[in-house]
Structure 1
């Protein structure tokens, strides 16, 4: 039996590895893009049981024209997760905005030219593309698919704008570029965008490195690493809402498979959280690290802060998502980190 092939870009990433797993388990053949043969080999080892259904194309730079021309040929769907992120950059436009926007345009353009059989593209966008940083904690506001990050290109490239704010603006610009492409070109495929906030959960790929964790994973690990101690202050999370990486992967699979998802944008989130809640879970449920974890003000929840909320009901209704509880997510993430500590 010939299996349908799905292209998953950035296949060595934290989220993408779980997306690859979701599609392989669902019976698809997966073609992944990675930046080097070394990454391809490591991801292949992660999924050795599916080796006959997993292949790779090397794409060193997604911002280069024609980067995806080869990769898209022969696939029926594309899951575009690739988007470089650096906490500090030399050039905001070159290092943050262009890779995000051009990478999105390049893959849609390649699909239109070389992959007429593609039915649907699912793009990994971000809650960052919804977040209005100027509003701060914005008590009383409930973010939904109707919200867009309002930062302009001029503001995003301003030298005084923090790099993280530029990254957030770039996610919005990349997603808008995708929807603009669809409206302008009217291609034969449709588009779905998935917008997760802080993504937590177990690192499941062979490229995971405790020294170079993705930003959201590092948020949890810094609270339990051998370098942390009970007297350390608790840092605020990047944003006050979260989701389990396995639920994000399921969202991508359902976004491709569910007919009604076509042409829609989905906020995927399990709700609010805080560093205090994560620290409490680590201390109460992961005995190996309880003496490392900062105390803060135990079991004070959100610490008396009033912050924005989220409405992810659309993802539950249309995609059928059921979200992991924070306790399970944090414990599973911690167990994965502890396994990685044994490897070092």
Structure 2
């Protein structure tokens, strides 16, 4: 019998690749969107292989009843539905409420569901270090970082990063307070996700950041500081994130794990060079390490050069 996966935010930049992967692997796939009338945000999913097994449902994570209804017959649930935005007018309304309240609602809903075998959170490197791409407190740009490190947060960090950090704390507390869960929960924490979008949408923050760096555009002080300081970025390919999510969702024995998903680190001007089909001036560094994801999930992370070349085709 075909298994069902529910993907919250399954039409976004990362979510679309996760949706594609599960469809290819023969799953019944339910995707949540926030507005059914904005079909331009999810229409591309119907061009995917096996899209006859795709079902789109519209609701917001703040609304508990439709969320419970969405996941009640799912074997696997993936939470990829937190807003990623850097240009924020009202952090509380735009980031903290939907991210944290949405996570709390999601945890309440899954705790009442009877079918679930596995839950995967698409967290973020910000759940490990809210200063990313700057180093965690007390570290330099070249100090390595892996899952043995202490998590680091600062109130001076970007509100998006702080929201992701707090959401991760909410998940950890839920796991600690519910030692007898009938399903496994694990998380994947990607660094800066790059690659080609599966949709034609122009409003994806990840895609937008690549566009800005490719064209040396600085719409705000945050981006300008990246250029001024030629900040190193750890990058991961969006398809590798989807493959790692699939492995985390379908392998047993990963309860409580949180995997950094990361390839190589390059300075922002070298990322600009590669997005424009030019050679980087410096060699790639390994700052954020991916040994745990490689070992447990069997992912071979593709070189950043390949990822950036794919974006610019």
Asked if TM exceeds 0.5, the reply is yes
Compute the displacement of 1:169 (Å).
1.6
- 2:56 corresponds in structure 1 to 56
Report the secondary structure of 2:312's partner residue.
helix
Superposition pairs for residues 158-173 of structure 1, below 5 Å?
161=156, 165-173=158-166
Aligned equivalents of 1:25, 1:334: Cα separation in 2? 25
Q: Is the 8 A contact 1:194 1:265 kept in 2?
A: yes
Q: How far did 1:227 drift? A: 7.8
Aligned in 2, Cα 1:41/1:328: closer, same or farther, shift over 3 Å?
same
Kept in 2: contact 1:255–1:262 (CA 8 A): no
Q: Residue 16 of structure 2 corresponds to which residue in structure 1?
A: 17
2:221 corresponds in structure 1 to: none
Counterparts of 1:175 and 1:237 in 2: how far apart (Å)? 29
Contact 2:23 2:51 in 1 (8 A): no
1:254 aligned to 2:253?
Answer: no
SS of the counterpart of 1:47?
A: helix
Q: Counterpart of 2:265?
A: 272
TM-score (norm 1): 0.79
Q: 1:329 aligns with which of 304, 307, 310?
A: 307
2:152 is aligned, of 128, 150, 153, to: 150
Match of 2:114 in 1: 116
Q: CA RMSD in A?
A: 2.8
Which residue number corresponds to residue 295 of structure 2?
A: 317
Structure 1 residue 79: Cα displacement: 0.6
Q: Cα gap change, 1:253/1:35 in structure 2, threshold over 3 Å: closer, same or farther?
A: same
| 62 and 239 in structure 1: CA distance in 2 versus 1, 3 angstrom threshold | farther
Q: Which runs of 5+ in 2 are unaligned?
A: 219-223
Change (3 A) 1:79 1:70: same
Does 2:256 align with 1:263? yes
Contact persistence 1:12–1:40 (CA under 8 A): no
- The equivalent of 1:219 in structure 2 is 209
Write the deviation string for residues 36-94 of structure 1: whole angstroms up to 9, x where unpaired.
113457524433342320001111x3234445111111010101000013323343233
> How does 1:182-201 map onto structure 2 within 5 Å?
182-186=175-179, 187-201=181-195
Deviation at 1:259? 1.4
Give the direction of change, closer, same or farther, for the CA distance of 1:333–1:51 in structure 2 (3 Å limit).
same
For 1:150 and 1:227, the matched residues in 2 are separated by 29
Supply the distance in 2 between the matched residues of 1:184 and 1:253 (Cα, whole angstroms): 26
Unaligned stretches of 5+ residues in structure 1: 156-160, 286-297, 336-344
Shift of 1:327: 1.7
Contact 2:144 2:286 in 1 (8 A): yes
Shift of 1:145: 1.7
Q: How far apart, CA to CA, are the structure 1 residues paired with 2:286 and 2:274?
A: 22
Distance of aligned partners of 1:90 and 1:279 in 2 relative to their CA distance in 1, 3 Å threshold = closer
Find the counterpart in structure 2 of residue 202 from structure 1: 196
- Alpha-carbon offset, residue 224 of structure 1: 3.9
Check 1:10–1:132 CA distance in 2 against 1; reply closer, same or farther (3 A cut): closer
Whether the 8 Å CA contact 1:126–1:197 is kept in 2: the answer is yes
Distance in structure 1 (CA, Å) of the matches to 2:80 and 2:232 = 20
* 1:180 to partner: Cα distance: 1.0
Native 8 Å contact 1:234 1:276 kept in 2: no
| Contact 2:100-2:167 at 8 Å conserved across structures | yes
Instruction: Tell me if 1:35 matches 2:19.
Output: no
Contact 2:11 2:45 survives alignment (8 Å): no
> What corresponds to 2:79 in structure 1?
80
After superposition, the Cα gap between the structure-2 partners of 1:132 and 1:74, relative to the gap in structure 1 and judged at 3 Å, is closer
TM-score, normalised relative to structure 2: 0.86
Distance 1:127 1:219, change over 3 A: same
SS in 2 for 1:21: helix
Larger radius of gyration: 1
How has the CA–CA distance of structure 1 residues 270 and 7 changed in structure 2, closer, same or farther, with 3 Å as cutoff? same
How far did 1:27 drift? 0.9
Contact 1:120–1:189, Cα closer than 8 Å, also in 2: yes
